[in-house]
Copies of this chain bind each other. A is one copy, B any other.
Amino acid sequence: MTIFNNPSRNTWSELCERPQLQLEFLEGSVKNILARVQQGGDYALKELTRQFDKVELSELALNTAEIQHAVNTIEPQLKSAIQTAASNIEKFHRAQLRDVMKVETMTGVSCWRKGMPVEKVGIYIPGGTAPLFSTVLMLAIPAKLAGCREVVLVSPPDKQGNIHPAILFTAHLTGVANIFKAGGAQAIAALAYGTESIPKVNKIFGPGNQYVTKAKQLVNQQGVAIDLPAGPSEVLVWADESATPTFVAADLLSQAEHGADSQVMLVVNSTGLAEKIQQEVQQQVTTLPRKEIAVQALRNSRVIVLEKETDALDFVNTYAAEHLIINTKNSDELAEQIINAGSVFIGNYTPEAAGDYASGTNHTLPTNGYATAYTGVSVESFLKYITFQKISEEGIKQIGPVVEVMAEAEELIAHKNAISIRLKTLTT
């Protein structure tokens, strides 16, 4: 990690730059995969699975025996942990639901707004060695709370043609029954266009490798909604001398182990503290199973020393971190002043890991500075709001003349007529 000592403001935008996703070169091959699935359906999907996942599938859909087997396989301790996490996530997301909001804006003019579930949603869960069952919780729970009619989960099979039992257990726990073995860009294609087995959905959620990310981008341009634009995961830890350096180091490393392109930022108020934390990082990293990845990520990472708290606050808001840990003596007060971040972790006992898994907040968050304008996944991500209005005879008499004047000024006379023709029947 390179230390930048009181960098001047005109260097900040450079210091806030993220490792760039280079997805352009993928466009051709991902477009090709999308087209193959759109035309060939299940057959193409199985061919692509043979090619990329090195496994021959007879069926794409999981059957209940496979799911039941997974449920029986999971160790009780892990089961219980997942259940506790699910309960917390459910509590936090349930509180996001809101009642229909009705307003009478003028006498006889009633307007309201009602959240309705996106009918069909797709959830992509990456495969590989580490089974991201926590992402199943983060997506399936709000989908169910929102009331989505159909939740379709896709995840790549391993070389034996199986999906990891922890993913299946979590899907089962959260009530997801529609599970298919499909990964990569071809899985996104299946969700976007539908195949004989896999239903076409209205919105696609979930993380993935660069093929998945590119496929989501492309189908989004074709009209399928997606959760968020993607970028590598990142954390910014803002610490002062009240923070425990070993804790800060552990938090930085828990981000660094995600991937070589993860970004780890540390903002502190003295070089002394910066060095102390760096030493801790060097020590702890050696013990990690994923230390090669972590070391690579640390190479892109930066320590920013800003002595003045107002400078640090401005820098933190400029960076707009996906995860922001504030570990300072006045962390509550500083948290109040955060204007750009995905999720904020306050104090010495609030590691990002808690929110990644179990505290209740969602871990699907805006990366890459998108926190300036985008919100992480919530129940709202699975809803769309419809506005309604009903105007009475009295109401149209009130509002009609206003609309007539405005429509005429915009030279939209048919708009005016739609009012006048009604008012005429009421005044006679």
Contact = CB atoms under 8 A, between A and B. Distances in A.
Interface of A: 77-78, 81-82, 84-85, 87-88, 91-92, 95-96, 98, 101, 103, 105-106, 109, 111, 113, 116-119, 129-134, 166, 202-203, 217, 221, 223-225, 229, 244, 246-247, 250-251, 253-254, 256-258, 284, 287-290, 294, 332, 335, 338-362, 366, 368-376, 378, 380, 383-393, 395-396, 399-403, 405-407, 409-419, 421-422, 425
B254 A402 contact: no
A200 B346 CA distance: 31
A119 B339 contact: yes
B113 A378 contact: yes
Contacts of A338: 116, 386
B353 A418 contact: yes
A343 B388 contact: yes
Contacts of A411: 129-130, 289-290
B98 A103 contact: no
Contacts of A418: 247, 250-251, 253-254, 351-353
B389 A421 contact: no
B101 A388 contact: no
Contacts of A81: 401-403, 405-406, 409
A171 to B, nearest CB: 15
Contacts of A352: 418
Contact of A402 (B84, B224, B425): B84
B131 A105 contact: no
Given A81-B405, A254-B417, A407-B353, A359 B118 contact: no
B131 A410 contact: yes
A92 B118 contact: no
A412 B257 contact: yes
Copies of the protein in its oligomer: 2
A229 to B, nearest CB: 7
18 contacts: A87-B105, A88-B109, A109-B359, A119-B340, A119-B372, A134-B406, A202-B373, A223-B229, A289-B413, A294-B414, A335-B388, A349-B393, A351-B419, A353-B419, A354-B400, A357-B402, A358-B406, A359-B389
A414 B257 contact: yes
Contacts of A386: 338, 341-344, 371
Contact of A417 (B244, B284, B347): B284
B257 A416 contact: no
Given A133-B409, A223-B368, A284-B417, 19 more contacts: A81-B402, A92-B105, A105-B359, A109-B359, A111-B360, A223-B229, A225-B374, A254-B418, A257-B413, A289-B411, A335-B388, A343-B387, A344-B388, A349-B396, A350-B390, A352-B418, A353-B403, A354-B391, A380-B385
A134 B350 CA distance: 47
Nearest to A405: B81
Nearest to A84: B402
A118 B373 contact: yes
Contacts of A344: 386-389
B419 A354 contact: yes
Contacts of A101: 95-96
A103 B109 contact: no
Contacts of A78: 405-406, 409
Nearest to A411: B130
A255 to B, nearest CB: 8
Given A221-B217, A347-B390, A396-B349, A410 B133 contact: yes
A356 to B, nearest CB: 6
Contacts of A346: 388-390
A376 B384 CA distance: 8
A410 B132 contact: yes
Contact of A371 (B131, B384, B415): B384
Give the 6 A-B residue pairs with the shortest CB-CB distance, closest first.
A225-B373, A105-B360, A88-B105, A81-B405, A351-B418, A257-B414
